[in-house]
A and B are shown apart, each in its own frame.
Chain A
Amino acid sequence: RKEVEQDPGPFNVPEGATVAFNCTYSNSASQSFFWYRQDCRKEPKLLMSVYSSGNEDGRFTAQLNRASQYISLLIRDSKLSDSATYLCVVNWGNDMRFGAGTRLTVKP
Chain B
Amino acid sequence: EPEVTQTPSHQVTQMGQEVILRCVPISNHLYFYWYRQILGQKVEFLVSFYNNEISEKSEIFDDQFSVERPDGSNFTLKIRSTKLEDSAMYFCASSELNTGELFFGEGSRLTVL
Contacts and interface: CB of A to CB of B under 8 A. Distances in A.
Nearest to B35: A98
Nearest to B99: A32
B43 interface: yes
Given A43-B91, A43-B105, A99 B99 contact: no
5 contacts: A36-B102, A43-B104, A92-B56, A94-B50, A94-B55
Interface in B87-108: 89, 91, 98-102, 104-107
Contact of A98 (B42, B55, B105): B42
Nearest to B44: A98
Given A43-B91, A44-B91, A96 B102 contact: yes
Interface of A: 31-32, 34, 36, 38, 41-46, 49, 87, 89, 91-101
Given A87-B43, A97-B45, A98-B44, A49 B56 contact: no
B43 A44 contact: yes
B98 A46 contact: no
Contacts, number: 55
Contacts of A91: 98-99
Interface residues of B, number: 23
B33 interface: yes
A95 to B, nearest CB: 4
Q: Which of B41, B50, B101 has the most CB of A within 10 A?
A: B101
Nearest to A87: B43
B48 interface: yes
A45 B43 contact: no
Contacts of A96: 33, 45, 102
Given A43-B91, A43-B105, A43-B107, A98 B43 contact: yes
